Chains A and B, each alone.
Chain A
Amino acid sequence: MAVKKFITGNFYDEAVLFPAVTKVRRAGYKIHDVYTPFPIHGLDKAMGLRDTGLHTAGFIYGITGTCTALGFITWALTLDWAINFGGKPFFSLPAWIPITFELTVLFASVGMVMTFCYLCQLAPFVKKDHFNARSTDDTFVMALECTDKTNEQEVIGFLNNLGAKDVEVQYRETEWWLGRYDKDTKRFERKVEPVH
């Protein structure tokens, strides 16, 4: 992907944002995203986003942990080197439940966090373009993607009518790239070859 053209509008109140989202969708415009400083419950439903599959991933990771723990302990204490601990059976399942449980939780949580970071492209030194720096403070920023057919003036007027403030056209990179926030780097920097 590359740099695209967007029309952004700022909202300062959920009560204005929600009807705006519904109306924008009904009018047939494509919402690229809404950036908010905190989670707004129900906004994903209003925007028509699919439910996340992160829960399912967590369950699968958990089961993996259970199997790893039970399988490994069984192998180590019954097959690899069976040791007689106070005359108790080699396969003493009840005593292994605590470790099995801990590893289930460990695998599920570590796996889920890593999946979360992968899906949201979160990592140190990842840089992304912002529409408005205040979107992590107090502003809800709605970005509509423009296509060749989009009538800019019409969309800007439409957003203004819905209560959006400072509606403007912005060109933004949609992908992430490796960069630092103290340096103004872009995803693709054209290096001008010196002419000799």
Chain B
Amino acid sequence: MKLYLKVWRQENREAKGDMVSYDVDGISVHMSFLEMLDLLNERLIQKGERVIEFDHDCREGICGACGMMINGRAHGPLTGTTTCQLHMRSFKDGETVYIEPFRAAAFPVLRDLKIDRSAFDHIIQSGGYISASTGQAPESNSIPIAHEVTEAAFDAAACIGCGACVATCKNSSAALFTSAKVSHLVLLPQGKLEAANRVIKMVNQMDAEGFGHCSNTEACEVECPQEISVLHIGRMNYQYNKALVLRK
């Protein structure tokens, strides 16, 4: 099949970018979306042009490195899918496909489709952990945790940090990402001790990184490859409000 691509090309952080057209034929329906870009890049090399830069690594939907806006949707037209797991059978022969980086002020473009998501690392650094140094741990079964609680914590902890929630949010809010971590940790007994401090620090950091606020449009849940629930945002808000009220 043949596709007409319009791809965002941008030299560096400061440069102005632009959509550039590429006609790509000889695409097989079995290819993944990233393999289709590999194919295009291979041809660009043959023509002596600079390849399209994009982030990708595991190509099995778990590392969270890949992520682009495909036809105006984060990770493309499917839900619950990362860009690397999107296959060309989801497109029609002769279709025009727009490819852009995830956009947010907190995710500056490095080159083409590569973006800087270190803001997410900063949010985790601000408190997204349980302070348990190596060697302090008690016997693991001495902390029984209900099956349902573990499963709920897992649901939140499944976040892959790809940034689709931010990209699809009309306000570029990182509420889903931040709340998934807050929720994961506060659900577990080990994580409750630091809950109040954690949530305040993480929310403040989220602001400091320049993310917008949450309007509860719930678009993030739809586009999240791990289908993380927006109810975690509710839990984060609860924890935050509680911490504000109880703060001395």
Do these two chains interact? Answer: no
Give the interface of B toward A (CB within 8 A): none
Give the interface of A toward B (CB within 8 A): none
